[in-house]
Structure 1
Amino acid sequence: MVQGIARFFTQVVHRFLPDPLIFAILLTLVTIGLALGLTPHSPSDLVLMWGSGFWNLLAFSMQMAMILVTGHALASSGPVKRGLAALAGAARTPGQAVMLVALLAAIACAINWGFGLVLGAMFAREVARRVKGTDYRLLVAAAYMGFLTWHGGLSGSVPLVAATKGNPMEKVIGLIPVSQTIFTGYNAFITIGLIVMLPILTRLMMPRPDEVVSVDPALLVDEPNEERKLGPDATFAERIEESRILSIVVALLIAGYLSVRFSTKGFSLDIDTVNIVFLGVGILLHKTPMGYARAVGKAARGTAGIMIQFPFYAGIQATMDHSGLAGIITNWFIDISNVHTFPLLAFLSSAVINFAVPSGGGHWVVQGPFVMPAAKALGADLGKSAMAIAYGEAWTNMAQPFWALPALAIAGLGVRDIMGYCVTALLFSGAIFVAGMYLF
């Protein structure tokens, strides 16, 4: 049955899902059209909102570009390639291959979403090299499905922001400690349930042998070693460029910075921390600064989708927020809820809004002012209400190509190659999210 569902959605996606850039443009037009019909703003107001917010995600876009290039460059280093190869050797059959990728990605994303997103894609490539006859599309989809666990893990944006002083909702509902969100029985059930379910689900999705799409060998060609061997006539400039000492110095500077930061401010693994760790380890493993620069240069070719598409989502998010459209959609769900149905309806409202605002932190800013006061007025569990926002965002990421872009760039695939499998994961994972919120 699962195989048939996955086959159906794969066919539908291949026929109807446009390129992610076209998806973003169409979503822009839909958002402006809805705002025009449902809010009192004029076309000129909405266009101004969209244009004014177009560059709001520049810093975030750079973060995502950096995690792609630093992660890719790290993976191309000799020691990491050997480590991934050794781990991939645990899989002997295509079934074991997809299950192993899904398991590793889900665990890694629960630890840190940026780390898991990159590691999963890198590992999928390595497993494809090792296990012949595995459907490469499903391997990469399995890596992206692990992203379902991120909001229930240690780097979940909504629960961490809700517990942080100065967040937008502190004056309205106070702080929500992580003991009421991340470290709860229902969240443990959901996160562990996903980690257990996803490998099994991907195994059941495996296509028939005659439908397997093997990887293009060109995508998996080992990249050449970026280290240069200098001759006796090398100039001073060349020797400095290929100096291992400078790489060690940079790595020590980064290690020193992280040690001081963690000792004074406590341990936190945000996206900037992941990036600087990737950079420091990468430059050390590539041995020389210019060797690392050459590896980054090759990796940077995959950032085109991020640079062109993320500004469109920034414009969409600004339009949803400033026009009040996000509040209208959220209130549609809140108005028909009671204390018992509130978590489910908050979850569903977040899932809908995620197509236009695919950001965990963005959801807290856009939906928090509507969902959390309503939860307080109804007497609903505030921690569970906040997590319902988070879970809805994580859930429909399986049908929203925004977060798949870095993984696809590393894997060398397009969104239509994996999204049918991801939509199937969306259907089955929804039951775990809902069960966790109502059984505990």
Structure 2
Amino acid sequence: MLANISKPLVKLVDRYLPDPYIFVLMLSLIVLAAAVIIEGKTPLDAVNYWGDGFWSLLSFSMQMLLVLITGFMLASSPPVKKLLNYIAGFAKSASQAIILVTVVSLIASWINWGFGLVVGALFAKALACKVRVDYRLLVASAYSGFLVWHGGLAGSIPLTIATPGHFSESDIGIIATSDTIFAGFNLALLAILFVVMPLVNRFMLPEEKDCVYVDPSKLTDNEEQASENQTWERPADKLENSRVLAWSIGGAGLVYLAYYFFVNNGRLNLNVVNFLFLFLAIILHQTPRNLLNSLNDAIKGGAGIVIQFPFYGGIMAVMMQSGLAQSISEGFVSIASAQSLPFFSFISAGIINIFVPSGGGQWAVQAPIMLPAAEALGADVARVAMAVAWGDAWTNLIQPFWALPVLAIAGLKARDIMGFCLVQLIITGVIISIGLSWF
């Protein structure tokens, strides 16, 4: 049944969904028009909001680019290739490959969202080299694991409100992760999604005639490593192929991480993930030259991130400064009760996430509206906060912003996977809505 449902959606998306760059251009124009028509701003004001915010995501853009590059370099190292191939060998059929990649992606994303994005995409490539399976659905399944990140260990909203000094502390105090990430309703949601998502993806497998396969030779790197007994004439050649140099600097990086985690009790975040990936890649590639060769291959997939993220910075600025995001939230709050507020918080967060694809940025917009409403209605503040978090994660399934690193690693276009993601969106939306309202 799911295969039959997904088939027309896949064809529809393939025909009408433009490249993510076109998508972000259209979103920019829609938001600018909405700021003028709905919020009553002048065209000049709207354009100024957009221009002032255009470069607001430069730091984050670099982080995301490094997620792609460091993850690619790590995965292209010989030891990691062997490990991924070994795990992929457990899948003997297309069904097993779909289930396995979904479970691995869910676990990795629950640990850290950046880690999950990279691991899921790289594991999908390894599986495609072992099993004959629809490559579009395989990558969509890898991406679907990203859904659980905001309910996991690196969820930005629950971690923010658990941190002393957060901007809402005067209103709600400190809310421990035992009431959010490790609350019963959140753990129940995660448990259900860990069971349902692999099955949903499995049952979307197209018929043989509708499958799209990929040539495994196009997914593998056939370049040979330099021979150990090869001689180098120039001193520079010796440095570029020096194992001692690579292992020394790589070891220094790992010593820092050990000190960070075990002495300073540091937490896992995007910068730490990138640091870990980079220095493991330095060590596992063995020589600087091997690493640089891998870097040249990795950087080719980062063009979408470089050109699109500034536009999302402009969109976010218009949404926040014009009042559009606040109006959407207030509209849902106005019809909510104590029982239904988590549901409406979830739906409003999902809509806003299409235009403001940033958990931290979205919470800054919605918290001043949702938190007073929760207190006035007598709703569970922790549950409302997690509803916003889940709404932010939910519509990431159809938001090309977050799919860019996965698509770049896998070598696909957004339209290749978004038809399957629409089915995932509908089913998980029902599950999360029920969970937030009744669990």
The equivalent of 2:8 in structure 1 is 8
The equivalent of 2:106 in structure 1 is 106
Output the CA distance in 2 between the equivalents of 1:326 and 1:365: 10
The equivalent of 2:374 in structure 1 is 375
The equivalent of 2:234 in structure 1 is 235
TM-score by length of 1: 0.97
How far did residue 217 of structure 1 move? 4.2
How far did residue 226 of structure 1 move? 4.8
1:278-427 correspondence runs (5 A):
278-427=277-426
Please, which moves more after superposition, 226-235 or 176-185?
226-235
Superposed CA offset, 1:232-264 (max 9, x none): 452222111211111111222112222222244
Paired residue secondary structure (1:402): helix
Superposed CA offset, 1:27-70 (max 9, x none): 01111111111213211111011001000000000001001011
How far did residue 221 of structure 1 move? 3.1
How far did residue 141 of structure 1 move? 0.3
The equivalent of 1:222 in structure 2 is 221
Output the CA distance in 1 between the equivalents of 2:152 and 2:93: 30
Whether contact under 8 Å (1:84, 1:123) holds in the other structure is yes
RMSD over aligned CA atoms reads: 1.3
Superposed CA offset, 1:46-97 (max 9, x none): 1011001000000000001001011011111111010001100111011111
Distance 1:283 1:369, change over 3 A: same
Output the CA distance in 1 between the equivalents of 2:175 and 2:364: 15
The equivalent of 2:67 in structure 1 is 67
User: What is the one-letter code of the residue matched to 1:201?
Assistant: V
User: What is the one-letter code of the residue matched to 2:246?
Assistant: S
Whether contact under 8 Å (2:232, 2:238) holds in the other structure is no
The equivalent of 2:187 in structure 1 is 188
Please, which moves more after superposition, 397-406 or 162-171?
162-171
1:196-215 correspondence runs (5 A):
196-215=195-214
Calculate percent identity across the aligned residue pairs: 46
Please, which moves more after superposition, 386-395 or 257-266?
257-266
User: What is the one-letter code of the residue matched to 2:260?
Assistant: R
Output the CA distance in 1 between the equivalents of 2:250 and 2:371: 43
User: What is the one-letter code of the residue matched to 1:297?
Assistant: N
Output the CA distance in 1 between the equivalents of 2:174 and 2:17: 41
Please, which moves more after superposition, 209-218 or 266-275?
209-218
Whether contact under 8 Å (1:375, 1:382) holds in the other structure is yes
The equivalent of 2:169 in structure 1 is 170
Output the CA distance in 1 between the equivalents of 2:218 and 2:404: 16
Please, which moves more after superposition, 378-387 or 248-257?
248-257
Whether contact under 8 Å (1:227, 1:286) holds in the other structure is no
How far did residue 230 of structure 1 move? 7.0
Whether contact under 8 Å (2:98, 2:138) holds in the other structure is yes
- Count of aligned residue pairs for this structure pair: 439
Output the CA distance in 2 between the equivalents of 1:175 and 1:329: 27
Output the CA distance in 2 between the equivalents of 1:229 and 1:86: 25
How far did residue 392 of structure 1 move? 0.5
Output the CA distance in 1 between the equivalents of 2:52 and 2:70: 30
Please, which moves more after superposition, 90-99 or 261-270?
261-270
The equivalent of 1:268 in structure 2 is 267
TM-score by length of 2: 0.97
Distance 1:379 1:64, change over 3 A: same
- Structure 1: which 4+ aligned runs deviate by more than 6 Å? none
Output the CA distance in 1 between the equivalents of 2:197 and 2:136: 16
